Structure 1
Amino acid sequence: MKELIQAIVSPLVEHPEEVRVTSKEEDGRITYTLSVNKEDMGKVIGKQGRVAKAIRTVVYAAGYSQQKKIYLEISE
């Protein structure tokens, strides 16, 4: 899943080498934290959060078969 998130986000940003994805698993849920360069934050979020929503939709659909709730957080 980390590779999928990186593959989606890297082409969108100016500094793809600074894209980091970490995961934390706890009872029944997996939280992925995406961190990007401060300058790229607007590109990842998009106008009115549309890009972020689209990324989350793809990640949630890909994780549907894992029988766990998937969350994606975006941070600097």
Structure 2
Amino acid sequence: MEQLLTYLARALVDQPDQVGLRISEVDGARLLELKVAPEDVGKVIGRDGRTVNALRTLLNAAAQKSGQKVRLEILDDRRNTANGQPAGAPDSPR
């Protein structure tokens, strides 16, 4: 399953050498955290999240076949701004 995800992610991005995968167990499910170069995040997510949803569908089908549960999260360093707030978050009151 992890090999499938890294193979697909490397095929989607411009910088395949920066694809990384962190695996952990959370709430009885395997959590896969995919990290790509900041300029490739949009390619992995896709328009309206279609690409990441397709990846999740494939992973869930593979996991279900082996009796597991899996979650996929895309790590996005671009969401951090200078003030420590996620992009689009309202500024804290002053």
TM over 0.5: yes
User: Of Structure 1 and Structure 2, which has the larger fraction of its residues in strand?
Assistant: 1
Query: What TM-score do the two structures reach when normalised by structure 1?
Result: 0.91
User: Distance between the aligned counterparts of 1:71 and 1:26, measured in 2?
Assistant: 9
Task: Give the deviation of 1:32 after TM superposition.
Answer: 0.5
Counterpart of 2:92 in structure 1 is none
Deviations 1:31-76 (A, max 9, x none): 0100000000010011000001001100111111332321001113
User: Distance between the aligned counterparts of 1:26 and 1:70, measured in 2?
Assistant: 9
What's the % identity of the aligned pairs?
38
* Residue segments in structure 1 that go unaligned for 5+ positions in a row: none
Q: Compute the RMSD of aligned alpha carbons.
A: 1.2
| Residue 3 in structure 1 maps to residue 3 in structure 2 | yes
User: Of Structure 1 and Structure 2, which has the larger fraction of its residues in helix?
Assistant: 1
Query: What TM-score do the two structures reach when normalised by structure 2?
Result: 0.75
Higher relative contact order (CA 8 A, sep 6+): 1
User: Which protein has the larger Cα radius of gyration, Structure 1 or Structure 2?
Assistant: 2
- Where in structure 1 do 4 or more consecutive aligned residues deviate above 3 Å? none
* Residue segments in structure 2 that go unaligned for 5+ positions in a row: 77-94
| Residue 49 in structure 1 maps to residue 49 in structure 2 | yes
User: Structure 2: which amino acid aligns with 1:64?
Assistant: Q
